Structure 1
Amino acid sequence: MPLLDHINLMTYDFYGGNYWQTNHHAPLYAPREGLDGYDLHSVVQRLRNQYGVPSEKITIGIAFYGRSIKTKGNPGLHVATEKVPDTRTFDEGNGAPQFYTILAKQHLFYYHWDQEAQAPYLKSREPLNTFVSFEDENSVARKGRYIIQHNLGGAIIWDITGDYLETHPGSGVVAMTPLAKALSDALCGKWYFEEDFNPVSIFTHRRQVTLPPCPIHVHCYTSPPRVFAVAEPHLTKKEKRKLKRKQKRQRKKQTRRKYFYG
C-alpha cells in the first residue's frame, strides 16, 4: 500500500437493526456466534497478513453510537429478532442512538458484558423486548490499548459529538465526554480496567455520579453512517446552468488550494 498514508477502517455496523439474530455491532474480538471476520481484530489481521498493510497505516473505527433491535422473545445476545430497530424508544437515528441518548435511557435496561467479544450490550426490562449493542468507557478504552499493543496508526470516531453531555438540556455547553476521555486515557497509558475488573460496576457507578439532567440532548449534525436522498430545490434551466458554473469554479479553487501548494 505504498500510495496510501492511512487506511481508516469503519469497524462498526457489523450487525445492524435488520439482522435475524442479535449481535454486537462493533466487537473487538469475535463473539461466540456470528459471521466469520465480523470483528475488529479479524479485519486488522486480514489487512496485515493477507494484504501486507503496515500496522502503522491502519486506523480503527470506534462508534460513539449504538444499534437497537427488537427481539421475538426475551431480549439477549444471539437470540432471534424481528429484524427491526426500536424506533419508539430510540426515535433518534432510526433506532441507532448516540451514546448520550443511551445514558438517558439506561434506566430501561440491564447492562451486560461479553468477555469473549470485549463488548457491552443492554437487555431491556419488560415489556420492551429490545436489545442494544453499543460502546462504553470500558470497550473504548480496550480498543485504545489494542491500538498501542498492535502499533496501529490510531482511531477514527463516528461521531465525535456522540458522547457530548451538556450541563443541562439545550445549554450547548459540554459538561463531559466520557468515551473520548476513556480513549485518550488509554492511548496515554492510563488504564483503569484491569483484566479482573468487573465491567458491570462501570454501569453501576455511573448511576451514582452526577450526570447532566435527563433527557440528555445535544444538537448533533451527523447520524450513524448511511446514505440519504437529498431533495434538490426546484430551479429553472437557466438557474441550473448558473449553479453548475459556480460549483465548477469552486471545485477548481479547492483543487488548487488542496493539492498545489507551490
Structure 2
Amino acid sequence: MVTLHKSLGDFKRVCYVRPEPELPVHRAISDKLCTHLIIGFAIIENNVIRVDTKTGSFISYCKALLNVTKTTGANDVQLMLSIGGGNNDQGFHPMSSTPTNRRQFAISALEIMLKYGLHGLDLDWEFPAWGNTYYEDKQNFYLVLKELREIFTTFTVQTSRPPLVITVALAAQYTIIERSYNVPELIKYVDFINLMAYDYYVYHWYWPFIDHNSPLFGRRRTQHLFIFGTLNTDWSANYYNRLGVPKDRIIIGIPTYGRSYQLMFPWYPRPGSLALASNQDMSFTEVCRFLKTPGTTVEWDQESGVPYAYRDNQWLTFESRESAAQKVEWIIRNGFGGSMTFSLNADDYRNECYDNSQPFAIQSAIKEISLKMLS
C-alpha cells in the first residue's frame, strides 16, 4: 500500500470530472488545480470494466496533456478512473458475489490501468447493501478491494513500477455508513477515501425540509437530535476516524453544485423550514445567475459555515468560494488529508461569476487557500 505522509505538503486536491467538450480541462491540469483527477464513470458489465468511447477518448486526451506538461517538470497530477457513480452501480453486486468474479474484475482493472496509462482506480458504489436484500454486499465490497490490492501489488512487485492507487467514494450519512461499509476492513486495502460530504438533505415526501446540502458544522439546536446531529461534514469525517480511518487518509468532499427548493412558507426562508418540492441541482454558474437576479437575498449560516439564498418561494443551498475556503482551513487545521471536489463540470469553468481570468472558481479558491496555508 502506498504510504501517505502526514506532512502538510501532501495535501490532496482530488477532483472528479466527466467528459465534456467545452470543459477546459487543460487549465485544470496545467495550473495544477488538482493533484488527483478522477474521470467518471466507467461501468461494470459481465464482471469486467467497460469504458465507452467518449470516456476513453477523454482519458487519452487528459493523459496527453499530462505528458506535455510533465516534460517541463511542471506537473505531477495523478490521473484516475472511477467506476460506478450514482446511476451506474448495477454491475457491482454480481461482480462482487463470488471469488471468481472478483478476480475477473480485478484483472480487467489492471488491464484498463495499463491500456490508458492511469495511476489508479476509484470505486464509487452507491451503495452496498443499501435499499435491497443483498446484505452480503457489505462484506463483498471489501473483498473486491482486497482482490484489487493483491492484483495491483503483485504487478508492482513483478515490474518494479510505481504502486497503483486505489480509492473509494464513501457516503457521509450515518445510516448508509452503518448499513453499507465494514470500514475497519476496507481501509486495509485503499490508499484513501473520498468522503462524499454532500447530499445531507435531499427532499422526499417523508422528509420535506429545506437545509444545507453540505454544512460544515451542525447547528446547536439540532446537534443532540440523533440523526439530525450527524448531518454535517465535521461529524462524518470524525466518525470515519473513530471507525479506524487515519485522518490523513480521509479526503473531504466539497460540492460545486447547489440545490434549489420550493418553499411551503415563503415568509420563513430559514434552514429547517418546510418545502413543497426540490426543483433541481444547479451548477455554480447557475447559482451565480440566481444570486445576481434582483430581489434575491443571500445569507450566511454562521453555525453551519455555508451560505444560502432565497427569492420569492425559491430557496437555494450552495457552496461559495468563501465556504470552500473555510472548509479547506478546517481540513488542514484538523489534520485531514485534503479536499475532494465533485465536480469540475459543475464549477464555473466558463468564468461567468467573477471578473478574473481563472476558470473553476471554487476549485481555484481551494488551491489558493491550501497553498497559502501550507507555504
Same fold per TM (> 0.5)?
yes
* From 270, 287, 291, the counterpart of 1:76: 270
Is 1:39 matched with 2:232? yes
In the aligned structure 2, how far is the partner of 1:144 from the partner of 1:45? 15
CA distance in 1, matches of 2:255, 2:234: 15
Matched residue type, 1:157: T
- The 5 A counterparts of 1:52-67 are 52-67=244-259
For residue 157 of structure 1, what is the aligned residue in structure 2?
Answer: 341
Deviation at 1:77, TM superposition (A): 2.0
Moved over 3 A (4+): none
Bigger strand share: 2
What is the alpha-carbon distance in structure 2 between the residues aligned to residue 110 and residue 28 of structure 1?
21
SS in structure 1 of the partner of residue 300 of structure 2:
strand
Structure 1's 117 and 23: CA in aligned 2 closer, same or farther, altered over 3 A? same
Count of aligned positions: 173
- Residue 203 (structure 2) aligned to one of 10, 17, 28: 17
1:175 offset after TM fit, Å? 5.3
Partner in structure 1 of residue 325 of structure 2: 141
Q: What residue in structure 2 maps to residue 117 of structure 1?
A: 304
1:177 and 2:360 aligned? yes
8 Å contact from structure 1 (residues 67, 85) kept in 2: yes
Q: Partner amino acid for 1:71?
A: L
Read off the aligned partner of 1:102 and give its amino acid letter: V
Return the offset for 1:98.
0.5
Distance in 1, matches of 2:221 and 2:211, equals 8
Q: How big is the shift at 1:177?
A: 2.2
2:191 aligns to what?
5
What is the CA deviation profile of residues 156-188 of structure 1, one whole-angstrom value per residue up to 9, with x for unaligned ones? 1111122234267xxxxx853221111111111
C-alpha separation in 1, matches of 2:274 and 2:190: 41
| Distance in 1 (alpha carbons) for counterparts of 2:328 and 2:200 | 19
| Deviations 1:107-130 (CA, angstroms, capped at 9, x unpaired) | 342100000000100111x3xx11
TM-score of the superposition, structure 1-length normalised? 0.61
Distance 1:130 1:96, change over 3 A: same
Q: Percent identity?
A: 25
Q: What secondary structure, in the 3-state scheme, does the structure 2 residue paired with 1:156 have?
A: strand
Instruction: For 1:43 and 1:119, locate their aligned partners in 2 and report how far apart those are by CA, in whole Å.
Output: 16
SS at match of 2:372: coil
Q: Which residue of 2 aligns with 1:206?
A: none
Shift in Å at residue 190 of structure 1?
5.3
Q: Which region of structure 1 is more displaced relative to structure 2, 151-160 or 135-144?
A: 151-160
Q: Structure 1: 5+ residue runs without aligned partners? A: 87-94, 169-173, 192-262
- Normalized per residue, which structure has more helix? 2
Rate the CA distance shift 1:77–1:41 in 2: closer, same or farther, 3 A. same
C-alpha contact 2:348 2:362 (8 A) present in aligned 1? no
- The code of the aligned residue for 2:327 comes to K
What displacement does 1:32 show?
Answer: 4.3
AA aligned opposite 1:188:
L
| C-alpha distance in 2 between matches for 1:57 and 1:175 | 29
TM-score, normalised via structure 2 length: 0.44
Is the CA contact (8 Å cut-off) linking 1:12 and 1:62 kept in structure 2?
yes
Q: Contact 1:17–1:67 at 8 Å: present in 2 too? A: no
Q: SS of the counterpart of 1:111?
A: strand
Paired residue secondary structure (2:264)? coil
Taking a change above 3 Å as real, the CA distance of residues 55 and 148 of structure 1, as seen in their structure-2 partners, is: same
- How far off is 1:48 after superposition? 1.2
Quick check: 2:197–2:232 contact (8 Å CA) kept in 1? Answer: yes
* AA matched with 1:78: G
Q: Which amino acid aligns with 1:105?
A: F
The corresponding residue for 2:316 is 132
RMSD: 2.0
* 2:297 and 2:310 in contact (8 A); partners too: yes
For 2:219, give the aligned amino acid: P
Contact persistence 1:7–1:57 (CA under 8 A): yes
Relative to structure 1, the CA distance from residue 100 to residue 22 in structure 2 (aligned partners, 3 Å threshold; closer, same or farther) is: same
